Amino acid sequence: MRKITLWLVAIVITLGAAVYQRITGPTYPLHGKVEINNCQVKFKLLRSHDTTGDYQLSLPTCTPDLSGYILYKRYKTSDPWTKKPLINQNGQLLASLPAQPAAGKLAYRVILVSQNQQVSLSGDKDIIIRFKDPVPPFILIPHMLIMFLAMLFSTRAGIASLPREENPRRLALWTLGLLFLGGMILGSLVQYYAFGAFWTGFPFGYDLTDNKTLIALLAWAAAVIAGRGGRPARKWVLGASIIMLLVYFVPHSLFGSELKYE
């Protein structure tokens, strides 16, 4: 019963870390609602899209008088802003952003207009959308599942390193194996399919997702080496588990692959 409880605690911590990492990342959609002339508009604006087609933006509207426009340009370029009107059609305001090459980004703003009022959905900030090539589900789904399991086993190993009656050695081995398979093998394949490169972290680049995976892997490799011969190596395991948890609290895709248009 005690072990079941500890696994449940590990699952709750892992789910919390995974959700936090996801919703704080720069590719998570921008959600919100604004009110203009007594018309409330709920919106969801994407910050990640496949290269296979234009991003079709759609906003619900409660009045035919509502209109607006979208401004966009290639990110980190001196391009002039392109302005496109929002088309009011069947209760929806519609517009599109042109697809970009893999890792290409667009900066955009959506402005609603009604009578003498104008409202920018993102305030005075640009929304950045990054385009990626599609990743086959048979690679993406196992990658996500195995990385979740790696975090789960890491958390459970950290908990097991605290009481003296439990040896975290086996959990540490499982964590290292799952992390290597999910992060270094499948993660590299995800990166290749999405952006055309297997690895863009140290020493070849600054991709934070790759770098934090590498840091976690090195921490767990050190913990496993410290525990060779069956030793519990509690301090090493606890340290690796904490590092893994901190890594998961870094927003996903931060400082990710980015096309240099020049």
- What is the mean predicted confidence (pLDDT) over 183-193? 94
DSSP for residue 80: P
Using alpha carbons, select from 255, 175, 163 the residue that is nearest to residue 209.
255
Among 71-75, 169-173, 192-196, 202-206, whose mean pLDDT is lowest? 202-206
Q: Is 79 inside a domain boundary?
A: yes
pLDDT digits (tens, 9 = 90+) for 133-187: 999 999 999 999 999 999 999 999 999 998 777 889 999 999 999 999 999 999 9
Using alpha carbons, select from 186, 192, 181 the residue that is nearest to residue 134.
192
What are the residue ranges of helices labelled H in 38-179? 137-160, 169-179
155 and 56 in a common domain:
no
- What is the mean predicted confidence (pLDDT) over 58-85? 92
Which of 108, 132, 156 is a domain's end point?
Answer: 132
Q: Is 169 inside a domain boundary?
A: yes
pLDDT digits (tens, 9 = 90+) for 197-252: 888 888 877 777 888 899 999 999 999 999 998 889 999 999 999 999 988 877 76
pLDDT digits (tens, 9 = 90+) for 38-55: 888 899 999 999 999 999
Using alpha carbons, select from 16, 7, 6 the residue that is nearest to residue 245.
16
Q: Is the pLDDT of residue 1 over 80?
A: no
Q: Is 93 inside a domain boundary?
A: yes
pLDDT at 36: 85
Using alpha carbons, select from 226, 223, 247 the residue that is nearest to residue 174.
223
156 and 104 in a common domain:
no
pLDDT at 22: 83
Q: Is 195 inside a domain boundary?
A: yes
Q: Is the pLDDT of residue 64 over 90?
A: no
pLDDT digits (tens, 9 = 90+) for 101-123: 999 999 999 999 988 889 999 98
Q: Is the pLDDT of residue 254 over 70?
A: no
Q: Is 101 inside a domain boundary?
A: yes
Cα–Cα distance between 109 and 69 in angstroms, integer?
9
Total number of domains in the chain: 2
- pTM score, whole prediction: 0.88
187 and 156 in a common domain:
yes
Q: Is 167 inside a domain boundary?
A: yes
141 and 63 in a common domain:
no
Q: State the CATH number of the domain containing residue 125.
A: 2.60.40.10
pLDDT at 256: 67
230 and 149 in a common domain:
yes
The answer to whether 43 touches 66, Cβ cutoff 8 Å, is no
Of residues 125 and 262, more confidently modeled: 125
194 and 149 in a common domain:
yes
Q: Is 30 inside a domain boundary?
A: no
Containing domain of residue 201, as a range? Answer: 2-25+135-248
Beta-carbon-side half-sphere exposure of residue 83 (alpha carbons within 13 Å): 4
DSSP for residue 228: G
